[in-house]
Structure 1
Amino acid sequence: MSTPIQVAVQPVRFEQADGFTIAGIGGRFSQSSISQIPQLWQRFEPHIGKVPGQVGEHTYGVCCNADANGNFDYIAGVQVEGVELLPAGFQGVELKPQRYAVFEHHGSLDNLKATFQAIWHDWLPQSGEQVAQAPEFERYGKDFDPFASHSVMEIWLPLDRKK
């Protein structure tokens, strides 16, 4: 049995993002089915760069509609101008203007769970920040390789206004 990887994280920046829409292929997941998210990306990958109304080259993994049991919707997608012309089977999610803490994950996605745990269990309780009831997302550059040790992706955690 291998020892869990420990990582230390700090936000690389705080952002006030304008609203935008992400569209792609989505599914409902639980902590026990989270390992199926890569298959969702495999289904979405052939559509990258061909989604009607696509804006930019980044791809996004959006987590939203979480419930008290730890279930959530996940959409592998791209930013779009609107959802009117989406292909069958696609879904969209509108992200409202929001303040975010932005973290970087370095390396392959095999260690992504450790980065999320460090954000939620180490950084957040000590930060004085509060998570907003809004989607969180991962943002991947066009050259991101999920298996490469040199890859970098961002995790955008929505924050409530400081009181």
Structure 2
Amino acid sequence: MNPRIVNLQEKKIVGLKSKMLQHQYGNIVALWKQFMPRKKEILNTSNSELIALQNYSDFGNFEKPFDIWACVEVTDLNVIPEGILFNTIPKGEYAVFPHKGMDASATYQKIMTEWLPNSGYQIGNRPHFQVMGEKYKQGSPDSEEDFYVPVKRR
């Protein structure tokens, strides 16, 4: 596992959010089913990518609920459709891992148990997110996306 380390500039995002506990994967599906029909109402998107974001109040304590977002990046926050929420992904250093297939939890497990302990980094206090671009194919073993993990040097 050799991620790219990037210094991300702040991203403005709009979408829908929900609370979730670890292993409540049905919440993710339900959120995306709500968001996708509304995506066409967002006229100021920066690109065609989708963003799945997780915002942990206490990363590592998976007994606490955390926020999940189904969203897109926008050029500004001046025009937001009614009922759509906004947020920002703060600037900072991220390790970016390519992921192929539909078993995201296995990739995330490898990141946390294999890469992170040997990396010289620790988890930063910013959202984790996945970017689903042109190579993302819902439900396909050939699907590709990028996992963004907030990091800071130890």
TM range (shorter): 0.7 to 0.9
The amino acid of 2:3's aligned partner reads V
Shift of 1:49: 4.5
Task: Establish whether residue 100 from structure 1 lines up as the match of residue 94 from structure 2.
Answer: yes
Q: How many residues align?
A: 151
Choose which of 66, 69, 79 in structure 1 pairs with 2:73: 79
- After TM superposition, the structure 1 = structure 2 runs for residues 104-119 of structure 1, keeping only pairs within 5 Å, are 104-107=98-101, 109=102, 111-119=103-111
Report whether the alignment pairs 1:122 with 2:114.
yes
Equivalent position of 1:155 in the other structure: 147
Equivalent-residue separation in structure 1 for 2:74 and 2:132 (angstroms): 15
Contact 1:11 1:101 in 2 (8 A): no
1:84 is displaced (CA, Å) by 3.3
Aligned to 1:29: 20
User: TM (normalized to structure 1)?
Assistant: 0.84
Asked whether the equivalents of residues 59 and 142 of structure 1 are also in contact (C-alpha less than 8 Å), the reply is no
Secondary structure of the corresponding residue to residue 130 of structure 1: strand
Instruction: Please tell me whether residue 131 in structure 1 is matched to residue 107 in structure 2.
Output: no
Give me the identity figure in percent. 25
Answer yes or no: is the 8 Å Cα contact 1:104–1:154 preserved in 2.
Answer: yes
Q: Distance in 1 between matches of 2:100 and 2:106?
A: 11
Cα distance change, pair 35–122 in 1 and its aligned pair in 2 (3 A): farther
TM-score between both structures, scaled by the size of structure 2: 0.88
Structure 1 unpaired stretches of 5+:
1-9
2:31 to 29, 40, 48: 40
Aligned residue identity for 1:159: V
How far apart are 1:143 and its partner, in Å?
4.6
Cα distance in structure 1, aligned partners of 2:79 and 2:35? 16
Aligned positions of 1:47-62 closer than 5 A: 47-62=38-53
Q: Does the CA contact (< 8 Å) of 1:145 and 1:151 recur in 2?
A: yes
CA RMSD of aligned residues (A): 1.7
Q: What is the CA-CA distance between 1:50 and the residue it aligns to? A: 3.6
Please list the CA deviations of residues 87-136 of structure 1 after superposition, one character each: whole Å capped at 9, or x if unmatched: 232222211211110001101x2x11111111112211121211110011
- SS of the residue corresponding to residue 83 of structure 2 reads coil
- 1:65-99 C-alpha deviation (Å, 9 max, x unpaired): 43343421011110012333222322222112111
